Amino acid sequence: MPNRVYVVVGELSGDAHGAGLLRSLEEMVPEVEVRGVGGPEMAEVTRGGVRDWVEDSAVMGVWEVLKRYGWFKQRFAEMLAELKEFRPDVLLLVDYPGFNLRFAEAVRREVPDTRIVYYISPKVWAWNKRRIPVMARLLDEMLCLFPFEVPIFEKAGLKTTFVGNPLVDELEEKRLPGISRDERLVGLFPGSREREVARLFPMMIDSAKRLKAWRSDLKFEVPAASGKLAGQIRELLAAAEAEGLVTVTSGGSHSLMQRACCAVIASGTATLEAGYYGLPYCLVYRTAPLTYVLARLLVKIRFIGLVNILAERGVVEELIQGRAEPV
């Protein structure tokens, strides 16, 4: 078992999964030392060994990353220097492929004796299969959430283990006993990144206004993924003169998924969580025009929502880019 682990997580969803993995690792190896970057849950589990950077690192899309290239380049260099000094037995990378695969390449080149393990496989089977041989060269092992991913990586010669999806256990622990859905409550889930919220929440506000005009008894609630995002959401509500229209909470997304009658949800892990709780919803997604054009060229699957991908049919309505508008 490793005694030193360096971990890299760049988003809140990965932070939750990574924190669960580190808890289990500490139970198995109480003396394990963990360093790296992640989110608030991992920082708490490691008692500060992992630094919380996700509010700054969680950006999506080519254009968004290019605008912050200097910041990412500096963080990359700092983390590589920290890893060299720490000399971990294992580098644990959790999702976040745009950054993590480049970091894996640098570590393989400069600290070649470090074992590199990837947890939560990038969806390269959907958008860039050419990366699979590169990953087989860089990584020592892949830990997958879905069983259909195993043969994809094994075929390329990468040791791959299906570990199950921790969402099942995590979400079942948060199930509310005896809860019933409020037929007047609509959930709004604009995502866990500032740019997602900026792009999607004004549309959600407009939709809520129209629905309220149609049915005056409807209520709307949005669970902000962090205190910073809660402030951003309140500013957007104020700008739209809609402060009293939507209730804003800090956290509480799983509770809302079990109480609401329906929802509008940004593409991401929340869509799978809502599916687990049986919440009817539509998926919405917008990104920068350049990012969208590139994605259209690269993505080779019919759907972007995990529920639809797993079902291999359109269970959930997907409203992408120009279709993500109130009607």
Q: Which tens digit of pLDDT belongs to each residue from 84-106?
A: 999 999 999 999 888 999 999 99
pLDDT of residue 326: 77
Taking the C-alpha atoms of residue 269 and residue 259, their distance in angstroms, rounded to an integer, is: 19
Mean pLDDT of the chain: 89
**Residues 117 and 139: beta-carbon distance below 8 Å:** yes
In the chain, what are the domain boundaries?
A: 4-172, 176-323
Q: What is the pLDDT of residues 285-317, one digit of tens each?
A: 887 666 655 556 556 667 767 787 776 788 898
pLDDT of residue 320: 82
In the chain, count H helices and then E strands. Answer: 16, 13
Q: Is pLDDT above 80 for 323?
A: no
Instruction: CATH number for 4-172: choose from 3.40.50.11900, 3.30.1600.10, 3.40.50.2000, 3.40.50.300.
Output: 3.40.50.2000
Taking the C-alpha atoms of residue 66 and residue 184, their distance in angstroms, rounded to an integer, is: 42
pLDDT of residue 62: 57
Q: Is pLDDT above 70 for 201?
A: yes
Taking the C-alpha atoms of residue 118 and residue 163, their distance in angstroms, rounded to an integer, is: 12
pLDDT of residue 129: 76
Here the tokens at position 107 are 């570590």
DSSP of 262-291: EEEEESSHHHHHHHHHT--EEEEE---HHH
Q: How confident is the model at residue 54 (pLDDT cuts 50, 70, 90)?
A: confident
pLDDT of residue 98: 85
Q: How confident is the model at residue 210 (pLDDT cuts 50, 70, 90)?
A: very high
Mean pLDDT of 136-162: 94
Q: Is pLDDT above 60 for 80?
A: yes
pLDDT of residue 265: 96
Tokens 């020592």 — which residue?
140
Taking the C-alpha atoms of residue 302 and residue 88, their distance in angstroms, rounded to an integer, is: 40
Position with higher pLDDT, 286 vs 261: 261
> Is the fold of 4-172 the same as that of 176-323?
yes
Per residue in 199-223, is it b (16+ CB within 10 Å) or e — as a string?
bbbbbbbebbbeebeeeeebbbbbb
Nearest to 142 by CA among 154, 129, 134, 133: 154
> 34 - beta bridge partners?
5
Q: Is pLDDT above 70 for 63?
A: no
pLDDT of residue 312: 76
Instruction: Return the minimum-mean-pLDDT range out of 16-30, 100-114, 202-216.
Output: 16-30
**Residues 327 and 154: beta-carbon distance below 8 Å:** no
pLDDT of residue 1: 61
* Architecture in CATH of 176-323: 3-Layer(aba) Sandwich (3.40)
pLDDT of residue 94: 95
Strand runs labelled E in the chain: 4-9, 33-38, 50-52, 90-94, 115-119, 141-144, 160-162, 182-189, 219-224, 246-250, 260-266, 281-285, 317-320
